[in-house]
Chain A
């Protein structure tokens, strides 16, 4: 590939520049909303309400964050978002790597049937109506007062792809390794825990990041579960509630600060680990 740089003709060079200009224009359009909300979160409410296309704040204020954090419960919302993200991550990593390992290494009756059930329910989509029985179930077993059940549902509804990712990865590890460990006296679980799990790091990272993202970003599920309980809301729900509550214009600065709080941690994580996000996306799509 490097070689072809050297022999580029002028025509290819112009093509290259057209490509760069084209991509740059789109890149600006893609970044605009993120930059707009982030910089906007440092504008005063008056400046936000008077509008305009200006990106940089005329006067730089940080009081929006203080106000959101202290008076608008955003400290609690942030804690709840972290709980959803980290909780989903831990549950998914544990459950999916184990299930992937069993699917890859164990033959048992009804394995194919179980496997295809996972696949089938990945494709069955009946929308939000399924949240109703889950909500009623949560009320019945008194789990509607914490976010634990929400974590359970998020992990459960996004697990299929992640199990397949893990299964595929375990399959790529030679079986001889298991056998050697078994001769050395490892049990089935110990082989997983001591030998394979450390080797699964790349796929564990992908599963961890994808599931953290689904927990952190989930909106409708926590919205439904926290209809009457403001203190359980994550950022996604909290910031949108401000809009629906009819405080409307008065709370624009808080909404800007809240939206920034909801997206910036995810963007930072993405900047560090972007490779894993893209890998997870393609592997999940092609193999799933």
Chain B
């Protein structure tokens, strides 16, 4: 107790003030760019706010949400997009990672090439894909026609039955490298002795993959899946560039629809309504994540 005064002075010498100052830029950024906007969200829930004036409308925004078919369709499209992206990206990137980890010649070059798209802005590669998807004599249609796969050009981004697939292909192109690197780091943690002993026991490539690689990867796989699910549910940047939700709202995901309510250059902003939808979207993503975590734990118990 009698040392009280001394410990306080010691603490000052320990650089308490310096620590506070050094931490302050990060904390300031956290408060301004994350915490403040989050709580701002709840401010206009009950208002019709166009950016200049806010009118109190009570529960109208919430009622409107439940009858907004475009929004609920966009929720469906979000799931469609996420599932399409995951179903293609994850197995493909795992396969590529397994082949690359086999130490074949040029494996580091291949790794470099597959990871390359992740350093390019999604907005720019989406723009590049709009050229590739061009209907009349675009490179993709020209190639497919010349090898006889299609007889007439396909309107990749304008045909309601193709647009989601076209968008998913762009997402796969942009995201494959990320997941490959995740899988590679998971694979590198499996010791080569296990593979050697399974080889001696005469296991073929398929058996090795399903009996050794996949089970040993499963803890890592769970993390990767969680990341993949959360990121693919919140993607919307490429959709803004590729189609901006078209044709006829067919490719709107939740966040691209919300974006257009707030920042569209052609209509009045409906910010109050957009905040309600954003909260709903966050809840939907939260629910999906929680459901996944429960399922992952259940699977743990079974296996």
Contacts and interface: CB of A to CB of B under 8 A. Distances in A.
Interface string B122-158: 1111011111101011110011001000000000000
Nearest to B265: A227
A152 B115 CA distance: 28
Interface residues of B, number: 93
Contact of A125 (B103, B129, B282): B282
B189 to A, nearest CB: 10
Given A31-B113, A134-B33, A220 B38 contact: no
B139 A36 contact: yes
A129 B41 contact: yes
Given A27-B114, A278-B115, A281-B118, A95 B29 contact: yes
B82 interface: no
A33 B125 contact: yes
B75 interface: no
A36 B262 CA distance: 35
Interface string A252-288: 1001100100110011011100100110011001100
A5 B114 CA distance: 24
Interface in A82-132: 91, 94-96, 98-99, 101-102, 106, 108, 114, 117-118, 121, 123-132
Nearest to A269: B119
Interface stretch (B15-23, B57-65, B294-302): B15-23
Q: Assign chain A's interface to a size class.
A: 35 or more
B29 A129 contact: no
Interface stretch (A48-56, A58-66, A68-76): A48-56
A52 B110 contact: no
Contact of A192 (B22, B99, B123): B22
B130 A23 contact: no
B139 A124 contact: no
B185 A286 contact: yes
B104 A16 contact: yes
Interface in A216-231: 216-220, 223-224, 227
B165 interface: no
Interface in B254-271: 254-255, 258-259, 262-263, 265, 271
Given A98-B25, A236-B124, A213 B102 contact: no
Which secondary structure characterizes the binding site on chain A? helix
Contacts of B281: 126-127
Nearest to A55: B139
13 contacts: A30-B173, A53-B143, A114-B27, A117-B35, A124-B38, A124-B282, A127-B236, A127-B278, A128-B263, A129-B274, A132-B37, A255-B127, A286-B185
Interface of B: 14-16, 18-19, 22-23, 25-27, 29-30, 32-38, 40-41, 96, 99-100, 102-106, 110-125, 127-132, 134, 136-139, 142-143, 146, 173, 176-178, 181-182, 185, 192, 205, 220, 223-224, 227, 230, 234, 236-237, 240-241, 254-255, 258-259, 262-263, 265, 271, 274-275, 278-279, 281-282, 285
Given A33-B173, A117-B30, A252-B131, 6 more contacts: A31-B113, A51-B138, A152-B29, A155-B29, A188-B18, A271-B112
